[in-house]
Amino acid sequence: MSTTLSSIKDKFDEAIIDAIGFRGEDTVIVQKAQAHAILKYCCEDLGFDYLVDISSIDFLGEEPRFEMVYELYALGNGAHHHLRIKFKVAEDEKVDSVTNIWKTAIWHEREVYDMMGIEFNGLADHRRILMWEGYPYHPLRKDFPLAGRPTELPEVAFTEKAPLAGGPFVTSPTSESTSHREPRSRDFD
């Protein structure tokens, strides 16, 4: 067990569900109630000064439905260490914002809200960041149809299904080499 995992486990033992070290990356699964305190401890006491990303996973059909994932990195003092903090969130629960720990979290939290519908306590700006204001859905949820949903605003977004088969960003199934499967190798006149 790394010193990072040991430190977190020693300080927050009852809040730790699991701690895993694998290939130089540590993952700590924690209880939601203590997540903010653990993230603050990681930044202020353990030196995880860089918030790489905040993401979420939809486990549709399970309860709690969502899992929050915080990717942290320690840059200071030549540490160069990666840490992942995870915790489960029910569909109707809010998550405490970490913008008071890392100012850059505002962008990540807005994206999680926009794409998954998870709201944050203490987030000053709950505007959508990718979808337009008033869009009623959260496109990264597993119950969102792959073909999308029709829109009443055709000037904002097209209403046709996006063609994927044979499109410029889709590889072609073939027994040829990678260069023949690569979309850029095809001629799209």
What is the pLDDT, as a whole number, of residue 35? 98
Give residue-wise pLDDT tens across range 52-78: 999 999 999 999 999 999 999 998 766
What is the pLDDT, as a whole number, of residue 31? 98
What is the pLDDT confidence band of residue 22, given thresholds at 50, 70 and 90? confident
What is the pLDDT, as a whole number, of residue 38? 98
Residues 119, 127, 115, 167: what is their CA dihedral angle, to the nearest 10 degrees?
Answer: 180
Res 108 pLDDT > 80? yes
Res 182 pLDDT > 90? no
What is the pLDDT, as a whole number, of residue 132? 82
Sign of the alpha-carbon torsion through 164, 166, 170, 172: positive
| 3-11 vs 32-44: helix crossing angle, rounded to 10 | 130
Res 41 pLDDT > 90? yes
What's the chain's average pLDDT?
85
pTM (global) more than 0.75 = yes
Domains in the chain, CATH or no CATH each: 3-153 (3.30.460.80)
